[in-house]
Structure 1
Amino acid sequence: MKKVQRYDYFLVLDFEATCENEKKMNPQEIIEFPVLKVNAQTYEIEDTFQQFVQPEYHPKLTRFCTELTSITQEDVNSAKIFKEVFEDFRHWMEEKVGLDKRFLFVTCGDWDLKTMLPSQCALHNIPVPPYCKSWLNIKKSYAIKKGDYVKGMYPMLDGLNLQYFGIPHRGIDDCKNIVNILRALADLQCEFLPTYYTE
């Protein structure tokens, strides 16, 4: 019996971004924007938002980035730019989630919504929606329940006796693995609440 949660949906999000081996790209840009709408009672995935994003400041992906994420130059060349993808995401939030519903974003770490989304929005002079300013870092839920703060997804999967699903460092597959972690922690009577708020 899973613990009853105070939300209608969990929105599991995991960006992939432009990157280079052992040095930081400036600016770093989102190249995959995936979100899974998860029923907070059944933990079933009810809807998916997933789009590749064409980077504008560093349009050519590094070899390291493609090898890490499996995202190809062709994937991003045929994609929309961030401003258009973000508009699609906002429509999805309104039509498929419902802004009147109780929902909580869930991430593996704080980087996605604390750092990456605000910096990407700033590049395009887009305000960050209020609903993207609080979230649950699933690593903190794991730490509370298991007494062990881990740095990444794989130790959580190991600690919960779960196998990794899909292609490592692909946003949509990472989201599915976060859902499995969420489900397993719910089985352990974990209550999911926001762990971070931004202004």
Structure 2
Amino acid sequence: MKTGILIALIIVAASTLMPGIARAQEDERIAKSMESLKAMTASLGPPRLEGTEAVGGTEAPALYFGTTRINNNFDIVDAVGREDGSGMTATLFVKSGDDYIRVSTSVPQPDGSRAQGTLLEGPALEAIKAGKAFYGQVPILGRPYITGYEPMKDSSGAQIGIYYVGYFHCWYCQR
């Protein structure tokens, strides 16, 4: 009888602790990838907007880090995914009016193509508009992702875009 109670207590304790441990690992993974994305872009120079360029059929402000144009350039966002090695996606957004447009992304659309030119929507948008970072689970193009979003500012301190990292996460899809 005591053995059965002990086993039941161990199962309850494990099921209570595991989500917390998993969440801590997710948070660490997102933080590491965000740090990597920001370091890769910073190594090119400060962010700035200059001119416009079409991305995914949408005209958007052209984002530069130093002299490197980022619109339609996937080197950095793809490098973040390779570095993580397990499905991390990355995006660099530019601010255009009240919208934020994906100008460089490894986030896939349902057909497998890059989500270039699509707009940021959902709960992260309000935090970003308030100049704050957002970390948490959000739907991206209808799929659940564990994410991190941080405002991108130019040398004058004006918010010109967003840094994003995240990965598809669907616990019920993995059964």
Higher relative contact order (Cα pairs below 8 Å, separated by 6+ residues): 1
Is the pair's TM-score, using the shorter chain for normalization, greater than 0.5? no
| Structure exhibiting the larger radius of gyration computed from Cα positions | 2
More strand by share: 2
